[in-house]
Amino acid sequence: MLKKLLVLLVFAMPVAGICAPGGKKKEEPVVHLTDEQIYEELKKLALVFEVARDNFVEEADEKKMLEGAMNGMLGALDPHSSYLSADDFKDFNDKSHGEFGGLGIQITSDRGAVRVIAPIDDTPAEKAGIKAGDYITHIDDEQVFDLTLNQATQKMKGRPGTKVKLKVVSDGEEPRDITLKRAIIKVKSVKYEDKSLADDDSETPDKIGYLRISDFGATTTKELKEAIAALEKKNVIGYVVDVRNNPGGYLTAAIDVSDAFLDGGEIVSTRGKDKADIERAFATPGDLTGGKPVVVLINHGSASASEIVAGALQDNGRALVMGSQSFGKGSVQQQKPLGDGTAIHITIARYYTPSGRSIQNEGITPDIEVLHSKVEVLEKKESMYSEASFKNSLKNEMAKKKADKKDKDGDEDDAELTDEEKDALDYQLQRAMDMVRAMAKLKERAPVAAAELEENMTPTGISPAPKKDQTAPAVDDNIRANNTDSESKKK
């Protein structure tokens, strides 16, 4: 038994050893063990296993113990590396292909607690009001501090229709208990729509292409191309690419999304453990939007692949990035199958934006910071000083009917908001669309200004001299006088 265990551990160790550590910087240099020292430590690990199994007060689950040991080994590297059981590995692949069961929440480990990276759109977690940055401290009244990330994930999964209770802590708020009903999560990566500014009351309001990318999966590239093609037929003047609360996904999908808006240039570089291990991804010719203005919306829930897209378009000068500081996950993970249906999910590289920036623990800084805000109307359409303010003014016969109907139907403020009303209250989105419209108008004026400038210029770039029958401007007389004075002084 001991020999078999040692063989298993020796097989697993080199796989972890060749992978790059990610995440936190180590304050002290790594001290590597010799082969003999590693063997002695593995013997000690096997001894711990046997002693624990034989002396634990209850019947020990050997498989659970060994999986816990492997999870602990990988978790010591960074929060994103872990052991994937056969079920975990299958769930991971299902999730990446757009359908899985659960709550629809992307989480990470943070100092023993479970931290929310972002909820996925239109899922139980998002509808329950769980937000990026929230902490989950209990699952079904059990503390998560003693659980691995995979164990916490498994406890939140279950048959669709069953319920799970979470204790959630938001910044500056009291802990709250939320009961969610599990569901089959079908993720459509890209949603699109042509939108107009809430305050654009013109007869033909400008249409702005809105692209909401909720994650980066296997179908994202195809969905994005279809969305852009549909919006181009509607003659939109520019695009808002919304990756707020997008927790990331496939690196290849992030590269393809960036490429859709670029004609050339570097998109991202990944750098592994070896300094020479650098891979660069470049854009191919063909901007699907034809160079129209682009604004990328980010927030603290925008992580990983979302940050690759924002950084690529920002560094290439292709888009303005608006919103708030992003999450700061600048590492790349890969699945390494172990041959028996299980795998390890491990950090293999860091990624860098085209300008060479690593956003690990820093995030993408928006060009224009627009924090999530509540819009408050300061000036009402109905002034407090109007005909109705006079003491003996005639009453409106319809007013009482409207008031009665409002009482009967309930307060209009409590009614469910329409999509247009939700857009109007989304301050970040409104400012992004405002910026797209401004950029589009500036771009329209540029050729006109260039043509006017060219019309007033000679091939040498100097305005032609006035003809003999024309009077030169006074400024020209002054210039000639100054030149004459200079020549006189020289003489």
Residues 374, 341: Cα–Cα separation, whole Å: 49
Question: Is 414 a catalytic site residue?
Answer: no
Q: Which of 329, 423, 426, 434 is catalytic?
A: 329
Q: Which of 134, 256, 259, 315 is catalytic?
A: 315
User: With contact defined as beta carbons under 8 Å apart, do 188 and 223 qualify?
Assistant: yes
Question: Is 165 a catalytic site residue?
Answer: no
Q: Among the residues of 288-371, which ranges form H helices?
A: 305-315
- The SS3 of residue 348 is strand
Q: Could you tell me the two tokens for 334?
A: 């890969």
- The SS3 of residue 265 is coil
Cα Rg of the chain, angstroms = 31
Question: Is 304 a catalytic site residue?
Answer: yes
CA nearest neighbour of 303 among 333, 321, 322, 326: 326
- What is the rounded end-to-end Cα distance, in angstroms, of the chain? 108
Q: 10 Å Cβ neighbour count for 461?
A: 7
Residue 143 β-bridge partners: 138
Residues 181, 128: Cα–Cα separation, whole Å: 10
Helix and strand numbers (H, E) in the chain are: 13, 19
CA nearest neighbour of 84 among 344, 298, 288: 344
CA nearest neighbour of 89 among 348, 347, 344: 344
Q: Among the residues of 56-138, which ranges form H helices?
A: 62-75, 86-96, 124-127
Q: Among the residues of 323-396, which ranges form H helices?
A: none
Q: Among the residues of 261-359, which ranges form H helices?
A: 305-315
Q: Could you tell me the two tokens for 116?
A: 């929310």
Residue 115 β-bridge partners: 108, 135
* Amino acid (1-letter code) at residue 332: V
Query: What DSSP character marks residue 216?
Result: B
What is the signed CA dihedral for 118, 120, 122, 128, rounded to 10 degrees?
-40
Residues 26, 250: Cα–Cα separation, whole Å: 27
Residues 230, 226: Cα–Cα separation, whole Å: 6
237: CB partners within 8 A, 6+ apart: 206, 207, 208, 292, 293, 436, 437, 440
Query: What DSSP character marks residue 148?
Result: -
Q: 10 Å Cβ neighbour count for 113?
A: 16
CA nearest neighbour of 213 among 239, 191, 240, 238: 191
Residue 322 β-bridge partners: 297, 368
Q: Which of 304, 306, 324, 326 is catalytic?
A: 304
Tell me the catalytic residues. Answer: 304, 315, 329
